[in-house]
Amino acid sequence: MDTLCPSSEAEVLDILAAAIGDCVPLAPTGLGTKAGIGRPVKHARLDLSGLAGVILYEPEELVVTVRAGTPVDEVVELLAGKGQQLAFEPPVWRTPDGGASRGTIGGLVAANLSGPRRLKAGAVRDHILGVRGVSGRAEAFKAGGRVVKNVTGYDLARGLAGSWGTLAVLTEVTFKVLPKAETELTLAVAGLAPAHAVEALTGAMHLSADVSSAAHLLAAESGAPFAQEPRTVLRLEGFVASVDARAEVVARHLAPFGPVERLEAAASADVWAGIRDLGSVGEAGEALWRISLPPASAAVFADRVAGLEPRRLAFDWSGGLVWLWVDDRLPDLGAAVIRAAIAVCGGGHATLIRGQDASRSRIDVFEPQPAPLAALSARLKAQFDPAGILNPGRMGGER
Amino acid sequence: MTLVHMPVPDAGTLARRDEIIAGLGQLVPKRRMVTEERGLKPWESDALTAHAQLPLVVVLPETTEEVSRILAFCHANGVKVVPRGAGTSLSGGALPLADGVLMSMMRFNRVLDIDFPNRAVVAQPGVTNLGITRAVEHRGFYYAPDPSSQLACSIGGNVAENSGGVHSLKYGLTTNNVLGLEMVLMTGEVIRLGGKHLDSEGYDLMALVTGSEGLLAVITEVTVRILKAPESARAVLVAFTSSDNAADAVADIIAAGIIPGGMEMMDHPAINAAEDFLHVGYPRDAEALLIVELDGPPVEVDDLIGRVEAIVKARGAVECRISTSDAERLSFWAGRKAAFPAVGRISPDYLCMDGTIPRKAISQVLKRMRELSAEYGLRVANVFHAGDGNLHPLILYDANKPGELERAEAFGADILRLCVAVGGVLTGEHGVGVEKRDLMGTMFDETDLAHQMRVKCAFDDKQLLNPGKMFPELSRCAELGRLHVHAGALRFPDLPRF
Ligand SMILES: Cc1cc2nc3c(=O)[nH]c(=O)nc-3n(C[C@H](O)[C@H](O)[C@H](O)COP(=O)(O)OP(=O)(O)OC[C@H]3O[C@@H](n4cnc5c(N)ncnc54)[C@H](O)[C@@H]3O)c2cc1C
């Protein structure tokens, strides 16, 4: 496939201007960790990994500005050096060559996929302070700023999160960063049925214990971190004395559900890295869905999709996020059953994270939208990319 | 006369007033319309009282259906609409237009659903901010963003302004706490975004609508997340003899990895205004006062109080009081919370500015502000969200003295330009409205603004919803939409075309 490799915003601008003139659609690309998500598109690749580097990092201001092609792994490491972090816990994905990576900053924002701490700290989009980018009009613009409190004009910087490269090519992103917790600790209970697990998770969120992550892995035949026995886990983070005090509160809450195991810092971090990276779990012949739901309904959802004979099922975000692996020979990969179940649960959405190209071209990989919403989204697309040069079709419909 | 001018009203619309009122009368009962001049008077401004304008007519819809029909009618007839919540905007966002319908959303005053298992509340937009916390506090929950106006301001207005409060430092702004919205476009189309799930689907339209100041859609329902209240909270009241030291202490606290529940600063004039008003026991001779609140389990709070105390003392604090009871904690806050009315007592009028700056620039900006105050001959008192660098300089003036309002506005504009110059922004939480509209160019260039306006065009291409706010100029969507194609350079001879 053809690839263009700009190394500056000016070059991006130039390429997009030419693409408009020549009617050539482009697929903005980073490290390819999320290339398998969304409708397969055959556009020429606009490889942004050359737009890399940290522009500004001011730990005392809790802010970092980086070029969009910068690997997230590098930013995570840079921040860790100062005891700070991207609090939404960017997940690690598989790269096309079989490696593992968090992808690029631009891809992270374009996909808005967050890890387990999203429950407490918010999503990628919640940490975006500002961006620079080039829209499909081949015009460079900025939005937002580099301070946390900013309501000057529309919140376009945040508004570009989750747009999968269909509105603008991001060239620079400013994030709010936060101090890393002094320590973490996980409390775990084994063997709970889904309904019980959701009860345990929901109840934990009703404690004044500031639970930062809450997940449940159902039993599965294969694929670490899954095991033969289901496991319910709750994470506490913060200052040492505080974590200990809160752990007592949470342990008391969990006691009626079964014996409570306590995982200290390192073991705890391992568990959550596994849950954070669930998107890279799976074997050949499996498709993977990621479903956003009202948290308390996760068990009802699991029950409704039982007929699909899931290979694995996991609840994160206290039930608000469900990962579902199915046999990829299912005719629609279970889309109809999954979406009907979501409706029963009170709304949400399902995204196909992994599936064969043929299925991804046929099935709605993103949640289909009611007509007025789809029309509004299409109008936004038309405003930012009237010639349709940015990833047309990637999100399905007219996006 | 103020320095900010509104677009000239459309004579055709004014001439059709009776016709428009009759048309609206078909859609809502007459008792929920205000048409007489005497009745319109109370609606002539929001909390930015320097601006006043009687609307064409006021309507008070009660259902989404009614909102939809009114907007569709106005759309079809080319009539402008200004949405209004509780009218506490400090930037003139809800300022009526002479040729526009003012749509009050305050009849939408019901909490629709309290869902503890999903930790969400669904409310109509006219429910007050505090009303949400009141509805859930019996089970120890609360809604985190807490603007000082929370007793009065509406959750719909909060969404429209992306409001913040003292607790936003730790718990985020409105945008970080909204899960779902129902909104009506100018065409009358009803659209739902998000719900009780955490991430909304597709484009993040919720991010665009939150903070859109009534320019994109009328919000008819809001779903917010609620949080379990922290087990305990304590506050530290610290006095400094220099605002530089106070600013440095703020930076040190953040640098130590501590994100307090709230961290507020007041300067000498603000301290004294508050003390005159409430006699809360603030040290009158202090140059700067810092209130730091820590929340969480008692062991954590006690531990952090100790750390904060050490930090402020190292920065030369001359007094450091630690609250020992909730009553004492609230007394620390009383003066801060009443700062606006307190300043209102020492001056006939005041303008409240709202820029945000990087924390490290706090002392530099305060110093320059004092110089400007001398140059303009107008007093200024500062109360602000120090933790996130959000300033609230209150410029004192007397509207009855000729030229003072203009001078106050010019002073305010200088302060905001200064905020932008040091790497900050024009407004941290109060919105652009009419007040900062003409300063947008100091932060954004033409292309930046054009991209923002294209968002507007996607939502409201006739630009009938709250025009004259936020953007310095009204450009037509057709012009903004034109694509400037460079001659086909054929840079990609080998690539597939469409
Ligand atoms: C004493 C005082 C203290 C304040 N303290 C703070 C503070 O600490 N933090 C802070 O952020 N703000 C503060 N404010 C500002 C103000 O209270 C907020 O901006 C508030 O969110 C406005 O809400 P409202 O219901 O009064 O909206 P209004 O003032 O009626 O309207 C504000 C804007 O929202 C739009 N709007 C209102 N309702 C809707 C709707 N349903 N759909 C679409 N658009 C709508 C209007 O068109 C307008 O542009 C303060 C104001 C005062 C007077």
Per-residue model confidence (pLDDT) at position B422: 97
B489 pLDDT exceeds 80?
Answer: no
Q: Are residues A294 and A331 in the same domain?
A: yes
B498 pLDDT exceeds 90?
Answer: no
B164 C-alpha to ligand 1 centroid (Å): 10
B472 near B446, Cβ under 8 Å? no
B360: phi then psi, degrees, rounded to nearest 5: -65, -15
Per-residue model confidence (pLDDT) at position B473: 83
CATH number at residue A355: 3.30.70.100
Tokens, residue A335: 């889309």
Q: Which atom of ligand 1 is nearest to the CA of B174?
A: 11
- Quote the percentage of chain B above a pLDDT of 70: 97
Instruction: Answer yes or no: do A143 and B448 touch at CB < 8 A.
Output: yes
Per-residue model confidence (pLDDT) at position B340: 87
Instruction: Express each pLDDT in B148-200 by its tens digit.
Output: 999 999 999 999 999 999 999 999 999 999 999 999 999 999 999 999 999 98
A392 near A41, Cβ under 8 Å? yes
* Residue A167 C-beta-side C-alpha neighbours within 13 Å: 32
Q: Are residues A123 and A190 in the same domain?
A: no
User: Contacts by B5-8 with C-beta closer than 8 Å and gap 24+?
Assistant: B6/B53, B6/B95, B6/B97, B6/B434, B6/B468, B7/B97, B7/B467, B7/B468, B7/B474
Output b/e per residue, B276-300; b: 16+ Cβ within 10 A: ebbebebbeebbbbbbbbbbbbebb
Per the structure, the count of domains in chain A is 3
Domain boundary among A179, A198, A231: A179
Report yes or no on A47 lying in a domain: yes
Q: In Å, how far are B26, B108, B123, B184, B411 from B64, measured between CA atoms?
A: 16, 9, 13, 8, 42
Q: Which atom of ligand 1 is nearest to the CA of B164?
A: 11
Measured CA to CA, the distance from residue A84 to residue A90 in angstroms comes to 14
- B154 pocket-lining for ligand 1 (C-beta < 6 Å): yes
Measured CA to CA, the distance from residue A114 to residue A229 in angstroms comes to 26
Q: Are residues A144 and A292 in the same domain?
A: no
Per-residue model confidence (pLDDT) at position A66: 98
Measured CA to CA, the distance from residue B370 to residue A185 in angstroms comes to 49
| Distance between A342 CA and the closest CA of chain B, angstroms | 11
Q: Which helix (H) or strand (E) holds A322?
A: strand A321-327
Instruction: Answer yes or no: do A151 and B303 touch at CB < 8 A.
Output: no
Measured CA to CA, the distance from residue A193 to residue A150 in angstroms comes to 45
Q: Which domain holds residue A206?
A: 183-276
Measured CA to CA, the distance from residue B15 to residue B257 in angstroms comes to 62
Instruction: Express each pLDDT in B120-129 by its tens digit.
Output: 999 999 999 9
Tokens, residue B334: 């009383």
Which of B59, B130, B161, B209 most suits a substitution to test ligand 1, by most atoms within 8 Å of the C-beta? Answer: B161
| Distance between A262 CA and the closest CA of chain B, angstroms | 20
CA-CA-CA-CA torsion sign (A226, A228, A234, A240): negative
Cβ partners under 8 Å of residue B11, min gap 6: none
A275 near A313, Cβ under 8 Å? no
Q: Is A301 left (phi over 0), alpha (psi -120 to 50) or beta?
A: alpha
Measured CA to CA, the distance from residue B355 to residue A112 in angstroms comes to 29
Q: Are residues A115 and A159 in the same domain?
A: yes
Per-residue model confidence (pLDDT) at position B134: 98
Q: Please name every residue paired with B33 in a beta bridge, in sequence order, or none if there are none.
A: B59
Q: Are residues A99 and A8 in the same domain?
A: yes
Report yes or no on A377 lying in a domain: no
B298 pLDDT exceeds 60?
Answer: yes
Q: Are residues A70 and A154 in the same domain?
A: yes
Measured CA to CA, the distance from residue A172 to residue A298 in angstroms comes to 37
- B94 pocket-lining for ligand 1 (C-beta < 6 Å): yes
Report yes or no on A351 lying in a domain: yes
Question: Which of B200, B229, B389 is facing A147, going by the closest CB pair?
Answer: B389
Over range B283-290, report the average pLDDT.
96
CATH number at residue A19: 3.30.465.10
Report yes or no on A370 lying in a domain: no
Output b/e per residue, B137-158; b: 16+ Cβ within 10 A: eeeebbbbbbbbbbebbbbbbb
Q: Are residues A240 and A113 in the same domain?
A: no
Measured CA to CA, the distance from residue A157 to residue B186 in angstroms comes to 24
Judging contacts by C-beta atoms under 8 Å, the chain A residues touching residue B172 are 122, 126
B493 pLDDT exceeds 80?
Answer: no
| Distance between B343 CA and the closest CA of chain A, angstroms | 24
Burial class (CB in 10 A: 0-12, 13-18, 19+), B167: buried
Q: In Å, how far are A193, A296, A309, A344 from A302, measured between CA atoms?
A: 11, 12, 10, 12
Q: Are residues A313 and A265 in the same domain?
A: no
Residue owning tokens 């259902």: B63
User: Can you give the pLDDT of all 399 residues of chain A as single tens digits?
Assistant: 689 999 999 999 999 999 999 989 999 999 999 999 988 989 999 999 999 999 999 999 999 999 999 999 999 999 999 999 999 999 999 998 999 999 999 999 999 999 999 999 999 999 999 999 999 999 999 999 999 999 999 999 999 999 999 999 999 999 999 999 999 999 999 999 999 999 999 999 999 999 999 999 999 999 999 999 999 999 999 999 999 999 999 999 999 999 999 999 999 999 999 999 999 999 999 999 999 999 999 999 999 999 999 999 999 999 999 999 999 999 999 999 999 999 999 999 999 999 999 999 999 999 999 999 999 999 999 999 999 999 999 998 777
pTM exceeding 0.95: yes
Could you tell me which of B207, B144, B220 has the C-alpha nearest to residue B181?
B220
Domain boundary among A116, A151, A179: A179
Could you tell me which of B136, B67, B134 has the C-alpha nearest to residue B104?
B67
- B47 pocket-lining for ligand 1 (C-beta < 6 Å): yes
Q: What is the mean pLDDT of chain B?
A: 94
Judging contacts by C-beta atoms under 8 Å, the chain B residues touching residue A60 are 251, 254-255, 359-360
Q: Are residues A33 and A118 in the same domain?
A: yes
DSSP string, A37-54: SSS---PEEEEGGGS--E
Instruction: Answer yes or no: do B452 and A143 touch at CB < 8 A.
Output: yes
Judging contacts by C-beta atoms under 8 Å, the chain A residues touching residue B193 are 373
Domain boundary among A245, A276, A307: A276
Measured CA to CA, the distance from residue B481 to residue A6 in angstroms comes to 27
Per-residue model confidence (pLDDT) at position A176: 97
Question: Which of B204, B440, B489 is facing A159, going by the closest CB pair?
Answer: B204
Q: Are residues A283 and A272 in the same domain?
A: no
Q: Are residues A256 and A146 in the same domain?
A: no
Question: Which of B116, B203, B456 is facing A163, going by the closest CB pair?
Answer: B203
Decide the pairing of beta strands A349-354 and A286-292. antiparallel
Tokens, residue B340: 């606006």
Burial class (CB in 10 A: 0-12, 13-18, 19+), B52: middle
Domains within chain B, CATH numbers bracketed: 11-104 (3.30.43.10), 111-228 (3.30.465.10), 232-340 (3.30.70.2190), 348-438 (3.30.70.2740)
Report yes or no on A137 lying in a domain: yes
Question: Which of B228, B303, B455 is facing A208, going by the closest CB pair?
Answer: B228
Report yes or no on A106 lying in a domain: yes
What SS3 state is found at B88?
A: coil
How far is C-alpha B329 from the geometric centre of its chain's CA atoms?
26
How far is C-alpha A57 from the geometric centre of its chain's CA atoms?
24
| Distance between B472 CA and the closest CA of chain A, angstroms | 11
Instruction: Answer yes or no: do A149 and B356 touch at CB < 8 A.
Output: yes
Report yes or no on A383 lying in a domain: no
Q: Are residues A202 and A268 in the same domain?
A: yes
CATH number at residue A197: 3.30.70.2190
Over range B375-395, report the average pLDDT.
95
Instruction: Answer yes or no: do A369 and B202 touch at CB < 8 A.
Output: yes
**A4: nearest CA in chain B?**
B492
**A63: nearest CA in chain B?**
B358
Q: What is the ipTM of this complex?
A: 0.97
Interface test with B, best of A61, A149, A364, A373 (most B CBs within 10 A): A149
At B407, the pLDDT band (50, 70, 90 cuts) reads very high
Instruction: Answer yes or no: do B494 and A2 touch at CB < 8 A.
Output: yes
Instruction: Answer yes or no: do B198 and A321 touch at CB < 8 A.
Output: yes
Report yes or no on A395 lying in a domain: no
| Amino acid of residue A58 | E
Measured CA to CA, the distance from residue B289 to residue B320 in angstroms comes to 10
B222 pLDDT exceeds 80?
Answer: yes
- B83 pocket-lining for ligand 1 (C-beta < 6 Å): yes
A394 near A385, Cβ under 8 Å? no
